[in-house]
């Protein structure tokens, strides 16, 4: 049995509640020893992990790891929000009684860390001194050293963050036990994994994975699920899967902050890290604040809506990251950054790394190259030759401070004032490049009806989206009706209202499927237009679903797009929209207690579409027809 007291004393960890918690779980999981972690332990832990073969060198100050082959992404089916109150059950939060889940997890975790070290990771999901600090402290316990390396990059880690709490009991208890990955029946009816947030007990119990959000518990389990519940229970804030960026207009000296949600793998990191396109670089400077989580609150002193990124790092999708799409990300994972790659391709002789889209094709000389599963490329069977070298959800982990255009005030305790909230998803038709919404209830309605294409052709109806309210579907912790009401209450309290917008970088040509909009750095243009609209510098064109820019207003010099494609992405397809309104009604009807303001917004948009006779209709029937044939 581990000498827990000695380890805690050696680390100077005094918080009696934390000590009690560590002792309980060290004994329960049967860990062989306990080690308390601070960020300053990183270099030593890296050395130990290299020696143990858990990670490999990937260039100067860069590292590579592989996860178990059946453990490569979040599992939504195995993720549960538990509380003691059945009325906390929503449509998406997969609610179960706390009294049922706690014993189940305790049973799974009993003795499951035998022979392993239990790492104690005190962390803070906020900048120190934040007005939301009371909700930000946590202590993750994990039996996996690579998880510790990730947590040091993704969160502020150190004993001081939990030793001086105003209420010593106010930290989130976040227990991660890896389990025997080779015998957990991942994805089978006998799946043993459980990822549970006991939200009203501020306890996270994750068993059966060492990957990403399943294991780095400060990130989405605390930063989104637990924080969203705390924000609602306290009535004080929102916690959303949002990116956050700043745009400075060097001509006027004004700075704008935009945050917003796109479903997982739909472009938050890429947008947050974007640079101004070359032709706009003289005038605009873009700064990075955060790429995956924002907490939003209103400061009662000045009445402004503030947003802050509670994370300290980026867990970014590797695929298609290159000099053209995301040069700042390449810098952030360059030599000396201490970045850690997971599940990309690795050359064991040269220590190079590669992923799909890093260069137009894979390295020609395959000597030494292994794919993400560890198989030598040179030994691939003919059947496997076309398989990707990197897993589609392979990622890089790096601290915020490695991002070259990190905002100077990224760790401002208060966060930054929010000018706009945007929503977007992968939508192959109907959604224009951008449509601005100036009314709060219509903005919240738009977020609640955010959807993206279903991943599998068999899922859902052709033309119908997989709805992902505010991009929070996998992270919802309380019911959708109260969630909408909480949104109206928090944002509604701001004396200066943000403008809302829906964006879509992913509209495709109905026949050949190419993306109509070049995306990436060009995405800044519609955002600049949005700020100009808010300032009254442009007027756009009113449509039943919001204001859309005219081609002139977008400043399209240097953008690679045909006039036909441009027209399509700046046009509202009324027929498709009316079909969508029907789907939306069914989607919203699932949510009891949805505020009447949201239904009113829905009816206003529906009526405006019906009344609309200004739109040219030639294109619409053709596009609908093509899609139906495909389905």
Among 292, 371, 453, 522, binds Mn ion (CB under 5 A): 292
The C-alpha atoms of residue 508 and residue 556 are separated, in whole angstroms, by 19
Q: What is the largest CA-CA distance in the chain?
A: 76
Least distance from ligand SPV to the Cβ atom of residue 466, Å:
14
Nearer to ligand SPV, 477 or 574 (CB): 477
Q: Which of residues 510-539 bind ligand GTP (CB under 6 A)?
A: 515, 519-520, 523
Nearer to ligand GTP, 425 or 540 (CB): 425
What are φ and ψ of residue 422, in 5° steps?
-120, 150
479 interacts with, out of Mn ion, ligand SPV, ligand GTP, none, CB within 5 to 8 A per kind: none
Tokens representing residue 197 in the block? 């947030």
The C-alpha atoms of residue 67 and residue 73 are separated, in whole angstroms, by 10
The C-alpha atoms of residue 22 and residue 36 are separated, in whole angstroms, by 10
213 interacts with, out of ligand GTP, ligand SPV, Mn ion, none, CB within 5 to 8 A per kind: ligand SPV
CA 340-346-348 angle, to 5 degrees, is 110
Would you tell me how many other CB atoms lie within 10 Å of the CB of residue 578?
A: 15
Residue 580 makes contact with Mn ion by CB under 5 A: no
Which are the contacts of 445, defined by CB distance < 8 A and separation ≥ 6?
A: 598, 601, 602, 605
DSSP secondary structure code for residue 438 in this structure: -
The answer to whether the CB of 499 falls within 8 A of the CB of 530 is yes
Q: Which one of the spans 284-292, 330-338, 437-445, 596-604 is the region binding Mn ion (CB under 5 A)?
A: 284-292
Nearer to ligand SPV, 266 or 427 (CB): 266
Q: Which one of the spans 35-43, 165-173, 213-221, 494-502 is the region binding ligand SPV (CB under 6 A)?
A: 213-221
Among 144, 219, 428, 587, binds ligand SPV (CB under 6 A): 219
Residue 212 makes contact with ligand SPV by CB under 6 A: yes
Q: Which of residues 278-297 bind ligand SPV (CB under 6 A)?
A: 292
Q: Which one of the spans 2-10, 37-45, 198-206, 212-220 is the region binding ligand SPV (CB under 6 A)?
A: 212-220
Q: Which of residues 312-341 bind ligand GTP (CB under 6 A)?
A: 316-317, 319-320, 325
Nearer to ligand GTP, 158 or 469 (CB): 469
The C-alpha atoms of residue 101 and residue 108 are separated, in whole angstroms, by 11
Nearest of 229, 594, 274 to residue 403 by alpha carbon: 274
The C-alpha atoms of residue 547 and residue 346 are separated, in whole angstroms, by 47
Residue 423 makes contact with ligand GTP by CB under 6 A: no
Strand ranges inside 72-162, DSSP E:
79-83, 95-97, 117-124, 137-142, 156-157
Residue 468 makes contact with ligand SPV by CB under 6 A: no
Nearest of 221, 133, 211 to residue 178 by alpha carbon: 211
Nearer to ligand SPV, 175 or 217 (CB): 217
The C-alpha atoms of residue 424 and residue 468 are separated, in whole angstroms, by 10
Would you tell me how many other CB atoms lie within 10 Å of the CB of residue 434?
A: 28
Nearer to ligand GTP, 109 or 220 (CB): 220
Among 79, 142, 264, 347, binds ligand SPV (CB under 6 A): 264
Contact string (CB under 6 A) for ligand SPV, positions 46-75, x = contact:
----------------------------x-
Nearer to ligand GTP, 292 or 419 (CB): 292
Residue 213 makes contact with ligand SPV by CB under 6 A: yes
Residue 508 makes contact with ligand GTP by CB under 6 A: no
CA 9-13-17 angle, to 5 degrees, is 115
Residue 505 makes contact with ligand GTP by CB under 6 A: yes
Strand ranges inside 372-464, DSSP E:
395-399, 416-417, 420-424, 434-437, 451-452
Q: Which one of the spans 109-117, 177-185, 264-272, 369-377 is the region binding Mn ion (CB under 5 A)?
A: 264-272
What are φ and ψ of residue 285, in 5° steps?
-125, 130
Give residues in contact with Mn ion (CB under 5 A): 264, 292
Give residues in contact with ligand SPV (CB under 6 A): 74, 212-213, 219-220, 264, 292, 315
Give residues in contact with ligand GTP (CB under 6 A): 262, 264-270, 291-292, 316-317, 319-320, 325, 505, 515, 519-520, 523
């Amino acid at each position: 049995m581990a000498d827990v007291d000695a380890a805690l004393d050696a680390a100077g960890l005094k918080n009696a509640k934390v000590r009690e918690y560590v002792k309980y779980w060290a004994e329960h999981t049967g860990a062989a020893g306990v080690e308390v972690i601070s960020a300053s332990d990183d270099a030593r832990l890296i050395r130990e992990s290299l020696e143990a073969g858990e990670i490999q060198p990937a260039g100067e100050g860069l590292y590579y790891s592989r996860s178990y082959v059946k453990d490569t992404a979040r599992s939504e089916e195995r993720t549960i929000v538990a509380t003691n109150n059945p009325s906390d059950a929503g449509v998406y939060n997969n609610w179960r009684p706390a009294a049922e889940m706690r014993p189940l997890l305790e049973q799974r975790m009993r003795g499951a860390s035998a022979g392993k070290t239990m790492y104690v990771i005190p962390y803070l999901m906020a900048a120190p001194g934040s007005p939301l600090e009371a909700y930000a402290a946590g202590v993750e316990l994990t039996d996996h050293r690579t998880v510790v390396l990730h947590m040091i990059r993704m969160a502020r880690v150190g004993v001081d963050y939990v030793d001086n709490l105003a209420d010593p009991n106010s930290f989130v208890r976040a227990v991660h036990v890896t389990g025997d990955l080779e015998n957990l029946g991942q994805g089978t009816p006998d799946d043993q994994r459980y990822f549970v947030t006991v939200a009203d007990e501020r306890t996270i119990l994750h068993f059966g994975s060492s990957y990403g959000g399943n294991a780095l518990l400060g990130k989405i389990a605390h930063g989104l699920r637990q924080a969203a519940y705390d924000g609602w229970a306290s009535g004080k804030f929102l916690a959303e899967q949002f990116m956050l960026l700043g745009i400075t207009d060097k001509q006027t000296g004004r700075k704008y902050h935009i945050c917003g949600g796109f479903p997982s793998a739909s472009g938050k990191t890429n947008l947050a890290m974007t640079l101004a396109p070359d032709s706009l670089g003289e005038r605009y400077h873009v700064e990075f604040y955060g790429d995956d989580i924002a907490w939003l609150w209103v400061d009662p002193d000045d009445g402004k809506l503030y947003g802050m990124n509670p994370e300290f790092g980026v867990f970014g999708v590797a695929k298609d990251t290159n000099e053209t799409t995301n040069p700042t990300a390449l810098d952030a994972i360059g030599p000396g950054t201490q970045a850690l790659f997971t599940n990309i391709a690795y050359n064991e002789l040269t220590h190079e790394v590669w992923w799909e889209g890093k260069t137009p094709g894979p390295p020609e000389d395959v000597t030494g190259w292994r794919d993400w599963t560890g198989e030598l490329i040179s030994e691939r069977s003919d059947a496997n030759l076309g398989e990707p070298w990197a897993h589609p959800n392979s990622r890089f982990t790096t601290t915020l401070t490695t991002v070259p255009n990190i905002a100077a005030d990224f760790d401002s305790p208060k966060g930054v004032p929010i000018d706009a909230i945007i929503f977007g998803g992968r939508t192959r038709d109907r959604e224009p490049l951008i449509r601005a919404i100036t009314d709060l209830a219509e903005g919240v309605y738009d977020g609640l009806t955010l959807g993206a294409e279903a991943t599998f052709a068999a899922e859902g109806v052709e033309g119908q989206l997989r709805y992902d309210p505010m991009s929070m579907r996998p992270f919802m912790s309380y019911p959708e009706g109260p969630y909408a009401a909480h949104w109206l209450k928090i944002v509604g309290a701001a004396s200066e209202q943000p403008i809302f917008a829906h964006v879509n970088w992913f509209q495709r040509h109905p026949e050949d499927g190419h993306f109509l909009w070049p995306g990436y750095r060009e995405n800044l243009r519609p955002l600049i237009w949005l700020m100009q609209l808010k300032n009254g510098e442009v007027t756009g064109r009113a449509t039943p679903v919001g204001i859309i820019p005219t081609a002139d207003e977008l400043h399209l010099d240097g953008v690679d797009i045909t006039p036909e494609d441009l027209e399509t992405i700046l046009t509202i397809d009324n027929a498709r929209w009316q079909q969508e309104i029907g789907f939306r009604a069914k989607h919203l009807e699932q949510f009891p207690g949805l505020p009447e303001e949201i239904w009113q917004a829905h009816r206003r948009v529906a009526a405006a579409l019906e009344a609309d006779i200004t739109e040219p209709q030639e294109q619409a029937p053709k596009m609908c027809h093509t899609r139906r044939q495909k389905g």
